[in-house]
């Protein structure tokens, strides 16, 4: 079979993810592989897409190969997908799959983003390989890669797709335009940063931004990513992991620390593009990697102004919610121009104001707790290199490894021993739940002075 590998890693041939395709090409020599270093060549492809066109037309199977970058695929892959759709090449009916490597932190949202775009292109999909970055160096990882490839070929040969049916209207987005109040509420002393990706004058998004600015009642400022002078997307060099400094001399790392992370609230404003926030926004997000894995904005309210059919974008909604939970931020709302831009913008204003006055921060959900456990283990293992992250995790008690909770662990041995004994188990029957409630009884007594016998 003719297999085109679209390499979405900015590292080009040095991509770890790409090594899996190279391994498979050496193992299965009966198939023909061609690689396009799409992300690395993105500037060239922007000018002339014919190189990509030729390889895509040649292929029977297209493999989207990429590292997971901040919940999704890297900027280069976003841009490639944008260019691919704009080129009008007809890939419908061809087969597609994906290979990603990562530390499994939100590899599923990245995969769903790719899958949604494959669906847009009318391609036939076979589930991909979502590997850990070190997997290919293990025997099990190689077996899984080989297993994946055999599965892929078999499914293609037998014409069986793995497509997950997504419910979409499929129509073009028709925004409901927000009303812009003629008078703005006076702006009290708070710093709300609205991050957007271009001049929004005369756009539906621009109207939502204007309404938000008029009604929030606090000072706001707009940061237009297109005017930040970013020299490019993250190149995955990891230099910042050691020095906290980005190799790009465009000053973004300092700007992020001194002008964005210092804000009282951040509102992201974008139009949905290819099931994501668009390439430029993705470039901004990827470049945030210079901050490492440090949750430096804990407690800060976060909001979104989104133009597009957000309610149909399950995966994007997960990304938005998960990002807030990982950062332990209050997701103060997502205003959209689907049905009620005025109402949703005003609701966002109300929730941000509430968060400011009450300091409201809900607990992290599985998205945040689970995500940070992955980071915790990763940073601990790489503490020699990721020094700033390690210092931050130590200082903020992120290293909550279970083995450190000695008292609880020994207590559980005791409980295990008691419950393991038939006689004792019968004796304490029914008392277990009561025992677990003891700390709560004590709490209520302490806080509300409740009587001992009160239940």
Rounded to 10°, the helix 366-381/387-395 angle is 120
Nearest-CA neighbor of 176 among 380, 364, 343, 324?
A: 343
Distance of alpha carbon 108 from alpha carbon 185, whole angstroms? 42
Chain center to CA of 61: 27
Q: Residue from 3, 4, 6, 9 that binds ligand FMN (CB under 6 A)?
A: 9
Site string for ligand FMN, 276-315 (x = CB under 6 A): ----------x--x--------------------------
Token reading at 150? 């055999």
299 touches 336 (CB < 8 A): no
Closer to ligand FMN at the Cβ: 38 or 192? 38
Contact stretch for ligand FMN (CB under 6 A) within 81-89, 97-105, 198-206, 345-353? 97-105
Closer to ligand FMN at the Cβ: 43 or 425? 43
Q: CB neighbours of 237 closer than 8 A, spacing ≥ 6? A: 247
Closer to ligand FMN at the Cβ: 246 or 265? 246
Q: Residue from 3, 16, 193, 372 that binds ligand FMN (CB under 6 A)?
A: 16
Distance of alpha carbon 376 from alpha carbon 382, whole angstroms? 10
Q: Please state the closest distance from residue 371 (CB atom) to ligand FMN, in A.
A: 9
Site string for ligand FMN, 17-36 (x = CB under 6 A): xx------------------
Closer to ligand FMN at the Cβ: 289 or 356? 289
In a 10 Å sphere around its CB, with 0-12 CB exposed, 13-18 middle and 19+ buried, how is residue 189 labelled? exposed
- How many chain residues interact with ligand FMN (CB under 6 A)? 23
Nearest-CA neighbor of 232 among 216, 247, 254, 215?
A: 247
Using CA atoms of 385, 390, 392, 394 in order, give the dihedral in degrees to the nearest 10. -160
Q: Residue from 106, 148, 284, 356 that binds ligand FMN (CB under 6 A)?
A: 106
Length of the chain: 455
Restricting to residues 234-263, name those near ligand FMN by CB under 6 A: 234, 236
Chain center to CA of 376: 17
Closer to ligand FMN at the Cβ: 102 or 196? 102
β-bridge partners, 269: 196, 305
Contact stretch for ligand FMN (CB under 6 A) within 28-36, 55-63, 69-77, 305-313? 69-77
Q: Residue from 64, 80, 105, 218 that binds ligand FMN (CB under 6 A)?
A: 105
Chain contacts with ligand FMN (rule: CB under 6 A): 9, 11, 15-18, 67-71, 101-107, 133, 234, 236, 286, 289
């Amino acid at each position: 079979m003719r297999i085109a590998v679209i390499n979405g890693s900015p590292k080009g041939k040095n991509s770890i993810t790409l090594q899996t395709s190279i391994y498979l090409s050496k193992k299965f020599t009966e198939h023909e592989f061609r690689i396009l270093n799409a992300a690395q060549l993105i500037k060239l492809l922007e000018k002339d897409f014919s190189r990509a066109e030729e390889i895509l037309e040649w292929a029977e199977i297209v493999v989207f190969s990429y590292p997971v970058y901040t919940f999704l695929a890297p900027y280069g892959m976003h841009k490639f997908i944008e260019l691919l759709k704009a080129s009008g090449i007809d890939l419908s009916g061809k087969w597609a799959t994906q290979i990603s490597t990562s530390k499994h932190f939100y590899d599923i949202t990245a995969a769903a983003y790719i899958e949604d775009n494959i669906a847009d292109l009318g391609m036939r999909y076979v589930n991909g390989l979502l590997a850990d970055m070190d997997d290919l160096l293990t025997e099990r990882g190689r077996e899984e890669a080989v297993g994946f490839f055999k599965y892929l070929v078999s499914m293609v040969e037998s014409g069986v797709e793995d497509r997950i049916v997504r419910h979409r209207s499929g129509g073009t987005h028709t925004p409901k335009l927000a009303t812009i109040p003629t008078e703005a509420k006076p702006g009290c002393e708070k710093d709300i940063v609205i991050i957007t990706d271009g001049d929004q004058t005369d756009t539906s998004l621009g109207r939502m931004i204007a309404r938000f600015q008029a009604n929030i009642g606090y000072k706001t400022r707009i940061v237009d990513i297109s005017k930040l002078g970013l020299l490019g997307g993250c190149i995955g060099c990891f230099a910042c992991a050691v020095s906290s400094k980005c190799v790009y001399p465009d000053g973004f790392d300092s700007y992020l620390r001194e002008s964005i992370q210092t804000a009282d609230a951040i509102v992201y404003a974008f139009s949905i593009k290819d099931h994501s926030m668009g390439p430029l926004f993705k470039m901004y997000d990827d470049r945030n990697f210079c901050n490492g894995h440090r949750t430096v904005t804990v407690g800060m309210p976060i909001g979104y102004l989104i133009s597009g059919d957000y309610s149909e974008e399950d995966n994007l909604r997960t990304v938005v919610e998960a990002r807030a939970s990982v950062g332990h931020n209050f997701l103060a709302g997502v205003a959209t121009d689907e049905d009620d831009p005025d109402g949703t913008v005003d609701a966002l204003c109300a929730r941000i104001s509430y968060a400011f006055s009450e300091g409201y921060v809900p607990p992290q959900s599985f998205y945040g707790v689970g995500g940070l456990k992955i980071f915790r283990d990763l940073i601990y293992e790489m503490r020699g290199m990721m020094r700033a992250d390690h210092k931050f995790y130590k200082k903020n008690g992120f290293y909550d490894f279970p083995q450190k909770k000695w008292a609880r662990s020994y207590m559980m041995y005791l409980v295990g021993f008691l419950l393991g004994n038939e006689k004792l188990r019968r004796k304490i029957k029914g008392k277990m739940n009561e025992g677990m409630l003891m700390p709560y009884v004590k709490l209520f007594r302490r806080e509300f002075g409740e009587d001992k016998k009160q239940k």
